[in-house]
Structure formats: structure tokens, C-alpha cells
Amino acid sequence: MLVPIRRAAFQVGKVTAVNKQLPPCSLKVAARGHETGRVRTPSSCGLEDPVTMATMHRPRCSLPDVLGAAELVRRRRRRRRYALSGSVWKKRTLTWRVHSFPQSSALSQEMVRTLLHHALTTWGVESGLKFQEVGFQSPTEPDIVIDFARAYHQDSYPFDGQGGTLAHAFFPGEHSISGDTHFDDEEIWTYGSKDGEGTDLFAVAVHEFGHALGLGHSSAPDSIMRPFYQGPVGDPHKYRLSQDDREGLQQLYGKVPQTPYDKPTRKPLAPPPPPPALPPDSPSLPTPDRCEGNFDAIANIRGETFFFKVLPGAEAAGCCPSVQGPRSGQADQSEGNSQVSSANP
């Protein structure tokens, strides 16, 4: 189904007034105010195809995407897709506080604060920015105030209930509202939902904090700054910004400063030491010759006669003690009337 772009622009709430005298093709620029014009170009003059319309009706950030003509021309000349708001924080340590928590979410307040902390840290590790949470007893107002609000909430950007717009944030500046981030409290905020229900708070928070730091929307496919909700992004401990998002952030705040302490101090892995040498093999003993008549000792034990001969090398190998018979003319009497005598005089 094809829908006139004039009606589509009004349906998504991104065009509040359009000159009715303009021809349909002129409304393309007006409709580009909500980012779809950059994500997917209208299929024909004044019409949108079903794929574009489906994108337009996905939940999204409520920050407008209106660009000046000069910015549009400049953006066409470059390959990067991130957008900069032109405003930036002049300090590198920002304070934040949750002013109000979601009322219809199963997430505890502690979990909400933890997810927001990780979302801010995601940007900090790529820029050197530091974020410090402060309480209500702080003597100064925090840089970023976070609220979960409904409908009209005193900032001229009302929420529209569940679905539609999810949240918005204000760019850096000197105003009291600069950096503040608002979430629609009528959304069902979740984290790690396995059934796909609700809206992932961590994913949306990372997006909105990008605005609070000065980034606009991006058309890069893997950017967290795309205007439309893309679902959960996984474990906050393992999540990392896309290259487009990192480049945009570092364009504003520079790269993480490198110090000697930041470099790895662990030595490179050395090759393993050689295994310990095995003890030398014992020398093999020669097989005794039964016809040999020379013996080192003869023993008569319990009526049986035993002949003993120490083979060459046996003593050096430690296989047996040296056989020392009694001296000539002497006999060694032991238990059982055993007698051992030396065979050699």
C-alpha cells in the first residue's frame, strides 16, 4: 500500500504545519525532518512504500532531525554518517541524578540506576569523560537530570503514550535543561526481556545520552544513534559503541588520553621453559652365563644351595649392594642354620 507522504508526515507527528499550496514533491524536504528521508528515500514523488512506512511507525527518539540546507550539503560530501549538534560540554567530569523513576516498570530503582550508570560509562570509556552520580543533597544542580515523565512535562516535547516516541534528551549548553534526559513513563521499561516485551532501558539510555553529549542522529546501519528503536543491545558490560558513534564522540571530546599507566605492564608471554631433563637410563646388565663356574658367593639356606655373582656394572648402577662374603675360614651362621661363604679364597 502506498500512502501520500503529506499524510505520513502528519501521522508520525514530525510535521506540524505544511503549506497546502506546495506541490506534493516539495513535501519531501518537510518529511525529511524526521530522519526517514535519510534512512530510506521516498519511492516516488509524494508517496512512501510499505517498508518506509513501517520504519516511520517504529518507536523512535522524539528529538527532531531537522537539518539546515548547508548541513545537508556538507553531509553529502562526507562518508561519515554521525551528526554533531554544534554544542559540547566544556568540562570532562559531568554529574547526573535520577529525579524520578518509572512507575509501571518491574525494574527496581537500583536496577534503573545501574543501567543508567552503564549507559553513561559506555560513552565515557571512548572519550575520557567521567560521570559522577550525585544525590538530592548536592549543593549544585547536576549536569544531567533524568526523569520518567508522561505527556506534557514542561519542556515543549510531550510524550505520546506507549509506542511512538520513547525518550528525548537536550544538547549540552548553559541552560538549566541542557543535558537533561526524559523517558516516557507510559512505556514498559525492561532489561534482558526474553519474550521481547517492553522497551529495553539500557539501549534507549545509551542513545539518549549520546544526545546529551552533543551527538545528533546517525544513518549508519550499526549506530546506536539511529532515530528508531532497534531493540536490546546485549550485556552492558560487553557492549561497545560502533565505529561511527566513537568517531562522532571523539570529534567532540577527543580520544581517550594515553598515559604511561594506561599501557599494559604485563610482559609479553615468554616461550615455556624446556622440560626437565630425564635421569639417565640405567645401564643394561649382561645376561649371566649359566656355564660360568666363578661365583662371588655361595649360600646354603634351609637345605638349598644358592650361587651369587655380581655382574659387571651392577654396583655402579646401584642395583645391588656389594656382596662381601666372610673371610676365608669363617662361616656366617644365621637364623635357620643358613650358611653363606665366599666362593673366592
Q: Give the residue numbers marked as catalytic.
A: 208
> What is the rounded CA–CA span in Å between residue 299 and residue 323?
12
Residue 185, marked binder: yes
User: For residue 32, how many other CB atoms are within 10 A of its CB?
Assistant: 20
> What is the rounded CA–CA span in Å between residue 109 and residue 60?
24
Residue 168, marked binder: yes
- DSSP state, residue 25: G
Residue 187, marked binder: yes
CA nearest neighbour of 12 among 49, 67, 55, 47: 55
Residue 65, marked binder: no
Residue 71, marked binder: no
Does residue 339 sit in helix, strand or coil? strand
Residue 289, marked binder: no
Does residue 276 sit in helix, strand or coil? coil
Residue 34, marked binder: no
Residue 237, marked binder: no
Q: For the purposes of burial, counting CB atoms within 10 Å of the CB of 2, is it exposed (0-12), middle (13-18) or buried (19 or more)?
A: middle
Residue 118, marked binder: no
Residue with cell 517492553: 198
CA nearest neighbour of 194 among 162, 222, 232, 239: 232
Residue 155, marked binder: yes
Where is the binding site, in residues?
Answer: 61, 143, 153, 155, 160-161, 168, 180, 182, 184-185, 187, 207, 211, 217, 225, 296, 298
Q: Which residues are annotated as a binding site for Ca(2+)?
A: 143, 160-161, 180, 184-185, 187, 296, 298
Binding-site positions for Zn(2+) read: 61, 153, 155, 168, 182, 207, 211, 217, 225
